[in-house]
Amino acid sequence: MPAYDLILRNGTLIDGSGKPRRAADIAVRDDRIAAIGAPGSLRGDNEFDVAGKVVAPGFIDVHTHDDTALIENPGMAMKASQGVTTVVCGNCGASPAPYIRLQDTPHFLSLIVKKDAFLSRTFAEFAGKVEAARPAINGAFLVGHSTLRLSVMGNDLDRAARSDEVSAMRDMLDGALGDGAIGMSSGLFYPPAMHATTDEVAEIAAPLGKHKAVYTAHMRDEGNEILQAMDETFEIGRRAGASIVVSHHKCSSRQNFGRMRETLPKFEAAAKDWPIAFDVYPYVAGSTILRKEMIDRADKVLVTWSDALPAASGRDLRDVAKELGCTVHEAADRLQPAGAIYFQMSEADVQKALSHPMAMIGSDGLPLDKHPHPRLWGTFPRVLGHYSRDLKLFPLEDAVRRMTSLSARNFGLSKRGLVREGYYADLCVFDPDTVADTATFEAPVMPARGIELTICNGIPVWQAGKATDRYPGRVLRLQELKAEA
Ligand code: ZN
Ligand code: CU
C-alpha cells in the first residue's frame, strides 16, 4: 500500500529558507507536504523521478494585477508556466473590489478589469467570483486605495478627500479586511490618487493595524523625489500600524541612475525598527498606462495596447508618431486609452536592487495587455536563469528564498513558501541548467524553458510544458492565514 499520494523522487531540494541544496525525496498527501526523506526512500501512488532537477517551493508573485485574470483565464498559464503557485493581486492602488459604481468604468481600472461584471461591491462578492471560476493557482488580494476613492469621490478626484469621505473609505477597507483581503495598496503616482495627502492615506489605512494587514505602495515618485516618497510611504505604514512593502523598487530616468546607493541603505535603516520590504522585477523597462509625463523620462516607449488605434500594439511610439505625422505627445493623445512600456532604468541599478537580501521578486505583469511586457511570462525564470546562473549575481538558493519564504513572511502567507512537513504542497520542479525566460519585448507571450512541474495544493497544474487542466487554486483569506500562523 503506497503511503502517499505523490512523490518527487531523487531531486535536489532547495527548500526556500536559503539553506544549501541537498538530495531528498518529497512526499505529498492531500494538499500538504507529508514527508521529506532520503533519496529513494519514499513510495506513493503517483511518482515522479526528478533526478538532476531542483525541487523548490512554488513561487509567490508578490506584485501582480492578476485579479480578474484568475476569473477570465483560470488556467493562469502565464504564471503556472513559471512555477508560480500564488499571486498577490490588487497592487498599485487598483482592485476590482470593494467598488461602488458612480460612473462608467474609469480608464484607470481598465488596467485590471476588462468586463464590468468583475467589479464587485464587496470583497466577499469578488472572492466568490474567483472561487466560482476555480483558478489553477492561489490568489491573495489587496484593496486599492484608488478604487476606494473612485467609489466614494466619483469623478471629483483632483483634491484631498473630506473627512466624511475618509471615514467612508476607512469603513470600506475595514469591511474588506474582515472579508479576507490581506491589506491595502496605494498608487499615489496615478491620477485618481495623485491629490490624496499623506494624512488622507494614513487615516484610511488605519484598520490595517487592527487586522495585522500589509500596506503596499506604488510610491508618489520613483524619480527625482524618490527619497521624499519613501519617507511618505514609511510614515503612512507606521501611522497605520502596518507592515510596509514598497512596490517595484526602481530609480527612474537617467538623472537618477545610480541612486540605489541612496535608496537601499534607506530601506536597511528603516527596516531596523519596522517591518519594511520591497519587490523588484528583473528588467530595465516598466509598463503601465500611456502617459505623456512619462514619455520624456524614458529612453524609448513601446505601445502595449491602444483602443483608438489597436494596430499600434507592440510598436515604438516614435514610429507611430512619424506615421501619423505628429509629435510623440500628440500621438499619445490620439492613442488613448492606451498602455505602454517605458525603458527608464539602468541595468546596474536593477542588478543592485535584485541582489539586495531584502528584495522579493514580483512580476508587475499586466495580463490584459495585447502586447504585454515580457515580465508577465518571464520574471521568475529570468531571475533563476539569466541573473543567478548566467550572471552569477546571487546563489540559486538565495534567488529561491526571495521568491518564496521571504515573500510568504512579508505578506503573512502562512504555511507557504517553504518545503517543510505540514506546509501546503505548493511546489516547483525546474532544471537548473536550462531554466530561462524566452519572452522578449518583441515576442512577449512565450512560456519559460526548464520549468518541468508546478504543483499547487498537492495537484500538478503545469507539467511538461502544458497546463494539466486541473484547478486547485484557492483564495487566501486574512483570517485563515492568521489562524494557521
Ligand atoms: Zn505600480
Ligand atoms: Cu503594479
pLDDT tens-digit series, residues 184-220? 999 999 999 999 999 999 999 999 999 999 999 999 9
Residues 306 and 363 in one domain: no
Note residues around ion ligand 2 (Cβ under 5 angstroms). 91-92, 364
Ligand 2 geometric centre to CA of 436 (Å): 23
In a domain, 379, yes or no: yes
Arithmetic mean of pLDDT, 105-119: 89
CATH number for the domain including 174? 3.20.20.140
Ligand 1 geometric centre to CA of 187 (Å): 7
Q: Which ligand is nearest to the CA of 186?
A: 1
Residues 264 and 190 in one domain: yes
Residues 188 and 278 in one domain: yes
In a domain, 107, yes or no: yes
What's the pLDDT tens digit per position in 351-410?
A: 999 999 999 999 999 999 989 999 999 999 999 999 999 999 999 999 999 999 999 999
Residues 167 and 188 in one domain: yes
Please tell me the predicted confidence (pLDDT) of residue 370. 86
Residues 92 and 178 in one domain: yes
Where residue 462 falls among pLDDT bands split at 50, 70, 90? very high
Ligand 1 geometric centre to CA of 7 (Å): 39
In a domain, 106, yes or no: yes
Please tell me the predicted confidence (pLDDT) of residue 2. 63
Ligand 2 geometric centre to CA of 276 (Å): 18
Residues 74 and 158 in one domain: yes
Arithmetic mean of pLDDT, 464-477: 97
Asked if residue 377 lies in contact with residue 282, where contact means CB atoms within 8 angstroms, the answer is no
Please tell me the predicted confidence (pLDDT) of residue 434. 98
What's the pLDDT tens digit per position in 218-229?
A: 999 999 999 999
Ligand 1 geometric centre to CA of 378 (Å): 18
Ligand 2 geometric centre to CA of 226 (Å): 17
Arithmetic mean of pLDDT, 147-154: 97
Please tell me the predicted confidence (pLDDT) of residue 161. 98
Asked if residue 86 lies in contact with residue 426, where contact means CB atoms within 8 angstroms, the answer is yes
In a domain, 16, yes or no: no
Q: Which ligand is nearest to the CA of 64?
A: 2
User: Which cell is 291 given?
Assistant: 502617459
Structural domain harbouring 243: 58-284+345-417
Residues 196 and 300 in one domain: no
CATH number for the domain including 323? 3.30.1490.130
Please tell me the predicted confidence (pLDDT) of residue 114. 85
In a domain, 1, yes or no: no
In a domain, 302, yes or no: yes
What's the pLDDT tens digit per position in 306-365?
A: 999 999 999 999 999 999 999 999 999 999 999 999 999 999 999 999 999 999 999 999
Q: Which ligand is nearest to the CA of 190?
A: 1
Residues 158 and 306 in one domain: no
Ligand 1 geometric centre to CA of 226 (Å): 14
Residues 211 and 322 in one domain: no
Residues 186 and 318 in one domain: no
What's the pLDDT tens digit per position in 423-458?
A: 999 999 999 999 999 999 999 999 999 999 999 999
Ligand 1 geometric centre to CA of 287 (Å): 9
Q: Which ligand is nearest to the CA of 91?
A: 2
Phi, psi of 385, deg, nearest 5: -85, -65
Question: Of 360, 392, 417, which closes a domain?
Answer: 417
How buried is 126 (Cβ within 10 angstroms: 0-12 exposed, 13-18 middle, 19+ buried)?
A: buried
Residues 227 and 80 in one domain: yes
Question: Of 340, 361, 379, which closes a domain?
Answer: 340
Question: Of 383, 417, 451, which closes a domain?
Answer: 417
User: What predicted TM-score, i.e. pTM, was given to this entire model?
Assistant: 0.98
Residues 179 and 300 in one domain: no
Ligand 1 geometric centre to CA of 467 (Å): 29
Count the domains in the chain: 2
In a domain, 65, yes or no: yes
Distance CA 460, CA 8 (A): 12
In a domain, 270, yes or no: yes
Distance CA 435, CA 1 (A): 36
Ligand 2 geometric centre to CA of 117 (Å): 22
Distance CA 425, CA 56 (A): 10
Where residue 67 falls among pLDDT bands split at 50, 70, 90? very high
Asked if residue 282 lies in contact with residue 250, where contact means CB atoms within 8 angstroms, the answer is no
